[in-house]
Amino acid sequence: MKNYFSMFLNAALAMAFMVSVGFSQEDVAKNWYRGNTHMHSFWSDGNVFPEMAADWYKDGGYDFIVLSDHDNLQLNENAWIDMEQPKVQKVMEQYAARYGEDAYETREKDGKKQIRLLTIRELKAKLDIPGKFLMIPGHEMNAGANGVTLHGNALNVTASLPFQRGETLAESIDKNALIVKKNGEDGGHTSVFMLNHPYWPFHDIDPMSMADAKETRLYEFLNGVPSGNQKSDKFWTYEAFFDIVTAFRIVKGYPLIYGTGTDDTHNYLSASGDVPFLAWIVVRAEKLESESIMRAMVAGDFYVSTGAKMEDIRFDRETGTLTVKVKAAEGQNYRIRFIGTKKNFDQTAEEFVSEKERKNWKLSPEIGIELLAVDGTEASYTLTDDDLYVRAIISVEPPVKDRGGAWTQPYSLMAQ
């Protein structure tokens, strides 16, 4: 499988060389690519065949996906499921009509008719279109650790990776991040761990543990599953969580963590629940190739969207200025809000035990304050001497069913 990724390395290394000798990222031609990095199929608990799941997004205008079935990279060439079970029967006619009855294998075993699931290699051979659509290999890592639910996605990996546990929650998170990273290092490509739905099911991943998980570079800021974004007066919103983690990581001298948006799709057949097209990421990369996409994500060169499109996002490290430009849609007005935290913020963290014995914290409202708000499609904010970081939130005015926004990553002159 190592050779599977090697074709992508030369271009990525050439780009890294250009940057190292003085070229800025602006000098390297890049494009925006829309993707979903968390979704399921019959390989686990999704309700359609894997190629149907992929095509849902392909037909929906996405450029790349990660089919992240539970604890299992789709490598088993002998994975058969019962054709008579209701969930398979429900989509069998649609499946055969789209792909043809000669596109799948069936067999009789123990008096039951079975159908074979396609592997990731077969799926990529069938569905990838160079420069237009890409399936990135991956799987979800699911278990409990340190008394809470801990899930994460292994992105761009070549094997099913075993779940890891540590002495603390932060250590457990990081052990999983490191085993994913090692898969890439061993194979000569970039593999990345993404912590999933920290707010589910009972605000399980507290922000102070997330701040201490210094090896982890991605987490699921927006999870399309409604239960994945629980809100409570006792806890933090997903916005506050992002700011708490960002502020404390900078104070601790740790690298920034970047927030993603996903669907966590299980249901492709109805209009409610964990369905497609709720939240996504848009990555700025040189090419629509796995290595290029992964490197851009590790660098934080992407934004989260539930509808709004960005024309440009730039952070000038010399001046500390974040500039964002929205790609305007007809009939929509936009507000750009710059959010940050001051260096002298109150770091008091009062611990309490919440529902289901989850450890949580009461934290200062000084974390994540509005620095500037501008109505329009383009705005800039320059970090002041007392700012830790800045990030931007783009909203549609007036709001349309809480949809249509976009979020940049945090930018700081203090962070690694």
With respect to residue 37, please indicate whether it lies within any of the assigned structural domains.
Answer: yes
Q: Are residues 41 and 54 in the same domain?
A: yes
The CATH number given to whatever domain includes residue 285 is 3.20.20.140
Whether 400 has a pLDDT exceeding 90, the answer reads no
- The answer, yes or no, to whether residue 182 has pLDDT greater than 50, is yes
Query: Strand 333-342's sheet: what is its strand order?
Result: 134-136, 64-66, 31-36, 280-285, 302-305, 406-407, 387-397, 333-342, 369-375
Residue after which a domain boundary falls, among 265, 286, 317: 317
Question: Does residue 312 have a pLDDT over 60?
Answer: yes
Q: Is the pTM of this model over 0.85?
A: yes
Of the pLDDT bands very low, low, confident and very high (cuts 50, 70, 90), residue 401 is low
Domain span at residue 97 reads 80-116
- Model confidence at 330, pLDDT cuts 50, 70, 90, reads confident
Amino acid (1-letter code) at residue 55: D
**pLDDT at residue 355 in the model:** 76
Residue 409 lies in a domain: no
Determine, yes or no, domain membership for 264.
yes
Tell whether 373 is covered by a domain.
no
Are both 62 and 140 inside the same structural domain? yes
What does the pLDDT read at residue 7? 37
Q: Are residues 139 and 167 in the same domain?
A: yes
Total domain count for the chain?
Answer: 2
Say what the pLDDT of residue 353 is. 84
**Separation CA 178–CA 195 (nearest Å):** 12
Q: Compute the chain's Rg from CA coordinates.
A: 22
pLDDT exceeds 90 at position 25: no
Residues 214, 93: one domain?
no
95, 241: one domain: no
CA distance linking residue 304 with residue 246, whole number of Å: 16
Q: Are residues 108 and 191 in the same domain?
A: no
Which amino acid is it at 179?
I
Where is the domain boundary, 317, 349, 368? 317
Q: For residue 107, is it within any domain?
A: yes
Angle between the N-to-C axes of helices 50-59 and 120-127, in degrees from 0 to 180, rounded to the nearest 10 = 30
Q: Could you say which of 61, 92, 116 is where a domain stops?
A: 116
Residue 161 belongs to some domain of the structure: yes
Decide which of 153 and 229 is more confident.
153
- Please tell me whether residues 266 and 172 are part of one structural domain: yes
Reported as a pLDDT band with limits 50, 70 and 90, residue 351 is confident
| Percentage of the chain modeled with pLDDT above 90 | 79
- pLDDT on residue 13: 39
Confidence label for 21 from pLDDT (cuts 50, 70 and 90):
very low
**Residue 322 located in a structural domain:** no
| Mean pLDDT, range 106-133, rounded to an integer | 97
Taking 70 as the threshold, does the pLDDT of residue 28 lie above it?
Answer: no
Kind of pairing between the strands at 134-136 and 64-66: parallel
Question: pLDDT (tens digit, 9 = 90+) per residue, 40-64?
Answer: 999 999 999 999 999 999 999 999 9
- Separation in Å, CA 124 to CA 74, 133, 160: 11, 10, 17
Contacts of 402 (CB under 8 A, 6+ apart): none
- Spatial separation of the C-alpha atoms in residues 241 and 63, rounded to whole Å: 29
Query: Are both 229 and 105 inside the same structural domain?
Result: no
Rounded to whole angstroms, the Cα distance separating 39 from 54 reads 9
What's the rounded mean pLDDT across residues 187-212?
95
> Per-residue pLDDT averaged across 181-197, rounded?
98
18: confidence class by pLDDT, cuts 50, 70, 90: very low
189 and 258 together in one domain: yes
**pLDDT value of residue 229:** 57
Are residues 11 and 292 in contact, defined by beta-carbon separation less than 8 angstroms? yes
Cis omega (within 30 of 0) for bond into 398: yes
Are both 71 and 208 inside the same structural domain? Answer: yes
Has residue 407 been placed in a domain? Answer: no
Q: Are residues 299 and 281 in the same domain?
A: yes
Please, which pLDDT band fits residue 154 given cuts at 50, 70 and 90? very high
Verify that 147 and 52 share a domain, yes or no: yes
- Residue pair 138/149 in contact by the 8 Å Cβ criterion: no
Candidate ranges 74-88, 197-211, 345-359; pick with highest mean pLDDT: 74-88
What pLDDT sits at residue 91? 97
CA distances from 376 to 295, 313, 394 (A): 31, 15, 10
Question: For 227-264, what is each residue's pLDDT tens digit?
Answer: 555 555 567 889 999 999 999 999 999 999 999 999 99
The pLDDT, as a whole number, for residue 138 is 98
